[in-house]
Amino acid sequence: MSIQDFIDFGDFVVDYFATLELSEIAIGILVSLGVCLLIQLFFYLYYFASVARNGKALNTGDIKHVIKRPPVSIIVVSRYDSENLAKCLPSILEQSYPKYEVVVVNDGTTNDTTILLDNLKKKYSHLRYTYLPEDAKYMSRKKMCMTVGIKAAFYDYLVFTDSDCIADTRDWLTEIMRNFNEETDLVLGFNHNRSVDGCETLWQKFVNFDNVFSAIKSMSYALKGLAYSGTIKNMAYRKEKFFENRGFASNLNVEGGEDDIFITEVSNGSNVAIETSPNASTSINKEVTMKSFIEKKETDLENSEYYPNEVKFRINTEVTTRYLFYLIFLIGVIYGIVSEEYFVSAMCGLAGLIRYCVQCYTFIKGAHALGMKGSAFLFIPFELIIPLTTMYVSTVGQIGKRKLELWKV
């Protein structure tokens, strides 16, 4: 193609737009869609792409970590879970870290768990354990167990995981702890769902997508100084921050929140680090059921009431513009065809393609940074379903039912 051909094509485009006449409805559709697109691109490129950029910086050595390795206490809470403890504890007890202890807090006592821990202690001298009596009455036994474990810990740095979690590598502890410098008080790691039978079903793909996408969003906000969420299945902080915060005193009336609410309370915008290396991840060693998935969504929704207002505003803005984009996109495509203003349909299609490409690139690169796979084909249906599950929980689910009962009273 010659230079003259490019000039002729440019003249054609200019002439086309000069003679293009759009109705007020068409202009309104395109302007509204454009605003939603720009807001969505801002969230994906400024916030959510942060995890992918962090992963790239790790690979190129641009992120400098501390070399000092202080003693660490790993706290594991277990409740009637001797089977999972037997599978998971060895991976935690056999870390390559120079000096650490593992404190297991048994929520209630069972002979099976006690026998298991006694046998493991014969092999692993750095294993210690205690328990919370069955008749102890607390709103959140998990928080009380964690408090017992923290008070029993010998060392000033605390790393948390659960009895159903496996440390994916022997360097897990080393790579979590390398993030603690003079400014860092809290480190957020990644936890994923391990395929039990080695073959992912559509349900498992959805659960993994939800988990990875949630991690990308929460870690991205943390990188921008707006930490609001994490998982107690892979998290670390200084013991002094726990006591400065008076533990979980502010939310003892909430069943959950030992991770999300605590994070929002101790974060000051610069004291939270994230660890995205696949070597620093933990994995859940059991199948995620529909019931447990919904219960997790209920807990997340309850905890979201404690998020800072600026975080709530950003989350609500992203979700609202996401659904508005899809709605306006469909209206624009249909309107353009019905009114024979095909330019409107074409521009809506172009906007949808741009958003989809940016989304998939951001998600797939972020997932790879965490050592996970990302599917471009399932992105849109999964992305639409996740907020619908939250809507279900807040209306006809348990939270919605409780709110309705309170309203009736």
**What domains can you pick out in the chain, each with its CATH number?**
63-292 (3.90.550.10)
The C-alpha atoms of residue 389 and residue 294 are separated, in whole angstroms, by 8
The string of DSSP letters for 307-344 reads: S-HHHHHHHHHHHHHHHHHHHHHHHHHHHHHHTT-HHH
Q: pLDDT of 392-402, one tens digit each?
A: 776 666 554 44
Q: pLDDT of 48-76, one tens digit each?
A: 999 999 999 998 888 888 888 999 999 99
Looking at residue 224, the DSSP 8-state letter turns out to be T
The residue among 28 and 202 whose pLDDT is bigger is 28
Cβ–Cβ contacts within 10 Å for residue 204, how many? 17
Q: In the structure, what pLDDT confidence band is assigned to residue 230 with cuts at 50, 70 and 90?
A: very high
Q: In the structure, what pLDDT confidence band is assigned to residue 408 with cuts at 50, 70 and 90?
A: very low
Residue 74 has φ and ψ, to the nearest 5°, of -95, 125
Whole-model pTM: value is 0.86
Q: pLDDT of 277-295, one tens digit each?
A: 999 999 987 778 888 888 8
Q: Is residue 133 predicted with pLDDT exceeding 80?
A: no
Q: Is residue 350 predicted with pLDDT exceeding 90?
A: yes
Which of 8-12, 307-311, 330-334 holds the top average pLDDT?
A: 330-334
For helices 342-369 and 50-60, the axis angle rounded to 10 degrees is 40
Q: Is residue 10 predicted with pLDDT exceeding 70?
A: no
pLDDT at 199: 59
Nearest 5°: the CA angle 164, 142, 97 is 50
Q: Is residue 11 predicted with pLDDT exceeding 50?
A: no
The C-alpha atoms of residue 220 and residue 274 are separated, in whole angstroms, by 9
- Region 268-284 average pLDDT: 93
